[in-house]
Structure 1
């Protein structure tokens, strides 16, 4: 396909979400098999798939020409139904990406670059303790690649040729970022695998590029990732599982309440992720909360001191979905 024939409309975004759900479903077993960080509970693939599917379902019949508004609806639904660390980060990524796109009917290279930068900032700020060698590494890499590519493009930045060049650099940067996770984190190095969440994010980026170009996605290169061949064993089964539970809920808070709750959740547990779902009033948002704790009740009671938690889920960290 020539750059002039790239699909930059909301149709491509719709196709991207649908294709991502299908591919995450197809790859979920392999992603689960190499899930050893931050918890070796073998559910990264399942969590990404279910989170992405919730977003795609929400826009399956939505009719609009606004690419940002379309993606915002999907992102919000993903956030409300997010599963695990990886699913929550995916929802945050989609939410950040959608923000600068709202009101636009066509995707351009500058618009994609600013969306990726916003998604990066949102993703990093959502975690109390962000860690490289994870999905964040891929998000960082594609945002940097997009911005640096814009600086060297000689053609019209609003052209389809510029967008095509940016997609190429994004794809290459994401591949390298996944490869780099093999040595960035000790649990991954010890297990001899790449990060499951990082591969999941690569799938999503590959599908974005393919949807815009109206091409089939080639996953053959994934065979080079450590631990990712179909015949490779389920590494997470040989890893020590974390004790405790994962608590997720939605709660309405102002900025001060959210900051205070985050600090107290950090003291109570770990893997704290907090991200706004949508704005209710000038300084009040609905927040999606994620935390790992030894017991659910103290965490739920703590959250209830700040607001009424709804859409509460409690998942045993030792439970696997594969």
Structure 2
């Protein structure tokens, strides 16, 4: 079907179909991960990010493509998960900038919006790497602008071909891809999205599957979860208005607790526990139009639960937040972790809120913002503990009105070391320097298994092999779990080492672990050797050497 111009409703159809297609293909995109580890999640992160964006425009009545794309971009920004999700959100943020103020666009104007998407994505990455999703979106913009067509459908068909051609060349740009015999996973995710957008215009719509609910994100707060419910109604909504001068937030503080108030451009997202949801909504309505209203009776929910678990999951709107009426303190800590033992370790070291996530599930920007808003602290530190969560944490710190500092911890051992380096008596700048500097003092190792045959840095890997990673790089491959783990530790320990800590996962056999630890204690008698049941999934061991 030919379209000389497309408007907001047509754009909505395009992104809805693209989201459905990406949901169908996410497992394949995940499988393209260069490392053959069992937690490749690029496709999952991109799909969850894009679904969060599309949910914001489903049912949107406007035909103004500028308004629709702006709403989509905000949904992507808040829903962004992992580096791939953050980059995708920035692409659509740029596209929205290119479409700003337009009721409908012709093919040339649509092309210019893709160029803006590329610029936005490149700005978001400190050291852009070619051969990735960045290259795909850049070449889409650069080559599409040379096309001369009066048909948006024809333009999108050509854009898909450009993106596929660029994707096929990514192994020539990144040796890691060529060695692993895969194309870039993030680039593939973008190709799937562009293909879905084209199919919507051409009439080749993807049949949508029943949408799965996102896995429950969980928060563990350092407080008693069995306390009496003070305010009975969990109330959430969005105000379509620019953030005010703070008067409405002050009003909210008189109406309840567990308040989350996030203002971004011309929307305000609100969460509050209150006994008067009607009054709150009436006051909010004075600021602008209300949407995404949800009210839940927490007392009723509480009565239906005989036992409240320590970790409380609340779907895509986790409400296990700290009481914002709690006494203010100077410093607050948010840590990302998965595994009951690891969570407990962070809480013992002083973390206030644990966001459940890590390699197997990257929290969204909105998850992190909610955790930030839950803390009543003058200065708040975020410990991502995973390199794929740092960008979302940085994005959350930019959105929040609070004083937030991201300590760029890439591993669990780095997060624990950073917390131990914190001194509550020191000033902010001194603590930032101390915590950041401490990351150089710890070596991080992990042990998992290969999900497919491949070759990494000249190392032949077969499906089922145990993999030893040192600072996120595969350095050991073996068929024997404990032989590999011992070899990995030998690489990590040197004459300057003083402590060895082993966090064993949920798949490690307790008796075998204890026998192995006795061997390590004898072998490294001059080190402080200890073990802890981290209970993390997929990784048999996480190892820290200081």
TM range (shorter): 0.5 to 0.7
Residue 28 of structure 2 is aligned to residue 30 of structure 1: yes
In structure 1, C-alpha distance between the alignment counterparts of 2:407 and 2:37, rounded to whole Å: 14
- Could you list the per-position Cα deviations for residues 10-53 of structure 1 after superposition, in whole angstroms to 9, with x for gaps in the alignment? 12211122112211111111111111279984111111111111
Equivalent in the alignment of 2:117 = 119
CA distance in 2, matches of 1:95, 1:243: 26
| Structure 2 match to 1:204 | 193
CA-to-aligned-CA distance 1:122-166 (integer Å, 9 cap, x gap): 1001001111111111101110112222xxx3x7xxxx43x3443
For residue 71 of structure 1, give the secondary structure of its aligned residue in structure 2: helix
TM-score, length-scaled by structure 2: 0.41
Report the structure, 1 or 2, having the larger helix content.
1
**For residues 11 and 170 of structure 1, what CA distance do their matches in structure 2 show?**
21
Partner of 1:227: none
Moved more, 65-74 or 133-142: 65-74
Name the SS of the counterpart of 2:6 in structure 1: coil
> Residue in 1 aligned with 2:520?
none
Pair 1:189-2:178 in alignment: yes
1:55 corresponding residue in structure 2: 53
- Alignment CA distance shift 1:58-1:164 (3 Å): closer
1:134 correspondence with 2:132: yes
* Structure 1 match to 2:97: 99
Displacement of 1:89 = 1.0
Between 32-41 and 206-215, report the one with greater CA deviation: 32-41
Deviation at 1:202, TM superposition (A): 0.3
| Post-superposition offset of 1:292 | 5.9
Confirm or deny: 8 A CA contact 2:95 2:114 kept in the other structure. yes
TM-score when normalising by structure 1: 0.66
Residue ranges of structure 2 left out of the alignment (5+ in a row): 207-357, 371-382, 423-427, 430-445, 447-471, 473-535, 539-546
Give, in whole Å, the separation in 2 of the partners of 1:16 and 1:204.
Answer: 9
> Is residue 132–residue 170 contact of structure 2 (8 Å, CA) maintained in 1?
yes
Q: For the aligned residues, what is the CA RMSD?
A: 4.0
Task: Say whether the 8 Å CA contact 1:178–1:198 is kept in structure 2.
Answer: yes
Residues 148-207 of structure 1 deviation map (CA, whole Å, 9 limit, x = unaligned): 22xxx3x7xxxx43x344323312210101101122212211111111111110011112
User: Does the 8 Å CA contact 1:245/1:293 hold for their aligned counterparts?
Assistant: no
| Aligned counterparts, 1:5-84, within 5 A | 5=3, 8-36=6-34, 41-84=39-82
CA distance in 2, matches of 1:292, 1:181: 29
- Higher relative contact order, chain-length normalized (CA < 8 Å, sep 6+): 1
Alignment of 1:220-231 (within 5 A): none
Deviations 1:238-263 (A, max 9, x none): xxxx9999786459xxxxxxxxxxxx
- Name whichever structure is richer in strand by fraction: 2
Cα deviation for residue 215 of structure 1 reads 2.9
Q: Deviations over 1:264-297 (max 9, x none)?
A: x9xx9966647878x98xxx9999x896612347
SS at match of 2:186: helix
Q: Where does residue 410 of structure 2 map in the other structure?
A: 293
SS in 1 for 2:169: helix
Q: Is contact 2:5-2:106 (8 Å) kept?
A: no
- Taking a change above 3 Å as real, the CA distance of residues 58 and 92 of structure 1, as seen in their structure-2 partners, is same
Counterpart for residue 180 of structure 1 = 169
The offset of 1:75, in angstroms, is 1.4
Quickly say closer, same or farther: Cα 1:166–1:38, change in 2 above 3 A. Answer: farther
Rg larger in 1 or in 2? 2
Q: How many residues align?
A: 255
Question: 8 Å contact 2:170–2:184 — kept in the other structure?
Answer: yes
Cα distance change, pair 296–69 in 1 and its aligned pair in 2 (3 A): farther
Q: Secondary structure at the match of 1:293?
A: coil
Residues 211 and 124 of structure 1, relative CA distance in 2, 3 Å threshold:
same
Q: Is the 8 A contact 2:4 2:107 kept in 1?
A: no
Asked whether the 8 Å contact 1:41–1:319 carries over to 2, the reply is no
